[in-house]
Structure 1
Amino acid sequence: MAFISTIDWPVIVLAILAVIAAGAVQGSTGFGFNMVAAPVLALIDPAFVPVPMLLLALFVCIVGAIRERSEIDRKGLTASLSGRVAASILAVLCLGLVDQAAYSTLFAVLVLIAVALNLLGLKVDANPRNLFIAGGVSGFMGTLTSIGAPPMAMVYQNAKGPVMRATLSAFFVFGAIISLIALAIGGQVTWTGIGLGLLLLPFAMIGFVFSNWGRLLVDKGKVRIVVLSVSALSAVLLIVREFVF
């Protein structure tokens, strides 16, 4: 982690604030941790994705799933995880085929696609077929870019708040583990990545504490616009960095 010493303190503070905000959003909605934190941290250094972000999301989702465990949709969880396993392996194969510049651009484009899917607000029934497909798409995007929430969130967008939060949190617990295993098999997991994740973990948990109040805002629809706005802006900045600087 020697590169950390070359980062200015204002940048480090920005990374910490992004992770705190992401923890609060994740705990409030059941998704959005990586949509908020990953684009911002990727601008600071690409080493923050995907492994560190997956580790952070894993721990935050564990706490979220435990908090509302009685509301988990277990049948839906099984169907969606089945799709995620195969897609995660495919994503690892794709990850090794692109160079850093192409990876960053692809990352930004997928973020914008994720935002567009949310803005469309397509209503999809939470049946086994759709959950399998959503789990697969989520697994592919999550492993490749650390952002896999939109497909699953779209399927559960009509569910009650506690059901959505608990089920999505449980899905991302298992999903993050699957993705990390797939990345490890592909040689993408390093001690540097693990160290970066653990370094930011306390701040992610601080953010999660704030979600005790943030859940009240979810019913009023105020969190969603923040997630989409920050994600879209960060993706645009990432594209600008690749083509301008």
Structure 2
Amino acid sequence: MSFASIIGGATGFGTALIATPLMLLAGIDVTDVVIVNLVVGLATRIAAVIQLRAHVEWRRVGWLGGASLPGAWLGVLTVALLPVAYLKPAVGALTVLCGLALAIQPSGGPRPPSRPALSVAGFVSGYFGTTTSLNGPPVVLLLGRAKLPPMSFIADLAGFFVITNTLSLALLWIYSDVGLAAIWPMLVGCLVVGLIGNRVGIAIAQRLSVGTFRWGVIALVLAAGILTIVTA
């Protein structure tokens, strides 16, 4: 969890992508892994928002978060009707396409995303989140192609993840038998390690050049898509 949180802090996302296979290999139950990732992700993103609050564009974050709500509900309905095994390869392929699209930067300077673009990215991210837990790439693509500075990129993603992780935890609480009693010692340990790793990651991001940061994000998006396809 420490290494995963450092990567998440340095790029704004990807903690769960790295932590999930390692925790599963350690024999931790899938449901427990999801809960730990969501709780640790929520805590570290709240910490990131507090630390980078001067860089957050609240209207953009609010628009993305609001648009994710109907997508998340549609995802819940989809999972009830269609096995995740059919969804993961498609989502993985779309994530790889997001990474490739990020590598092709538009000409010109920074351009704030339009409201229709924010609505589409938020909706798709909400849908991906409740179907495969891979809710980052659509918003990463949108903010990356807008050429936001690294700290603004990380801050806006953090605000968005606070909204979507809270929503996902609420849905799990309502529609599944979520229990923390058996995993609270592990959860507390992961929270402490995750918060420390997140702070280290943000410190690293503040020292990275824009080019290095951008290619690190692209590599992580491509890895997320490929891993999703392989593990489907």
- TM-score interval for Structure 1 and Structure 2 normalised by the shorter chain: 0.7 to 0.9
1:21 paired residue number: 3
Pick from 191, 195, 214 the counterpart of residue 201 of structure 1: 191
- Give the TM-score normalised by the residue count of structure 1: 0.75
Q: Distance in 1 between matches of 2:219 and 2:62?
A: 30
Pick from 83, 88, 97 the counterpart of residue 116 of structure 1: 97
Q: Is residue 150 from structure 1 mapped to residue 137 from structure 2 by the alignment? A: yes
Provide closer, same or farther for how the CA distance between residues 236 and 78 of structure 1 changes in structure 2, counting only shifts above 3 A.
closer
Pick from 51, 56, 79 the counterpart of residue 67 of structure 1: 51
Shift of 1:169: 0.3
Provide closer, same or farther for how the CA distance between residues 115 and 41 of structure 1 changes in structure 2, counting only shifts above 3 A.
farther
1:85 paired residue number: 69
Q: Given residue 86 of structure 1, which amino acid in structure 2 is its aligned partner?
A: P
Provide closer, same or farther for how the CA distance between residues 137 and 69 of structure 1 changes in structure 2, counting only shifts above 3 A.
same
Q: Given residue 8 of structure 2, which amino acid in structure 1 is its aligned partner?
A: Q
Q: Is residue 34 from structure 1 mapped to residue 25 from structure 2 by the alignment? A: no
Q: Distance in 2 between matches of 1:218 and 1:140?
A: 32
Moved more, 191-200 or 48-57: 191-200
1:111 and 1:232 in contact (8 A); partners too: yes
| Same amino acid, percent of matched pairs | 23
Q: What is the count of residue pairs matched by the alignment?
A: 218
Provide closer, same or farther for how the CA distance between residues 25 and 92 of structure 1 changes in structure 2, counting only shifts above 3 A.
same
Q: Is residue 213 from structure 1 mapped to residue 190 from structure 2 by the alignment? A: no
Shift of 1:126: 0.8
1:54 and 1:146 in contact (8 A); partners too: no
Q: Distance in 2 between matches of 1:104 and 1:21?
A: 28
1:112 and 1:231 in contact (8 A); partners too: no
Gaps of 5+ in 2: none
Provide closer, same or farther for how the CA distance between residues 109 and 117 of structure 1 changes in structure 2, counting only shifts above 3 A.
same
Q: Please give the secondary structure, in 2, of the residue aligned with 1:110.
A: helix
Q: Distance in 1 between matches of 2:134 and 2:177?
A: 17
Q: Distance in 1 between matches of 2:158 and 2:173?
A: 22
Shift of 1:166: 0.8
- Report the RMSD for the aligned CA atoms in angstroms: 2.8
Q: Distance in 2 between matches of 1:192 and 1:93?
A: 28
Q: Distance in 2 between matches of 1:76 and 1:132?
A: 10
Q: Please give the secondary structure, in 2, of the residue aligned with 1:55.
A: helix
- Give the TM-score normalised by the residue count of structure 2: 0.79
Provide closer, same or farther for how the CA distance between residues 117 and 92 of structure 1 changes in structure 2, counting only shifts above 3 A.
same
Gaps of 5+ in 1: 1-18, 240-245
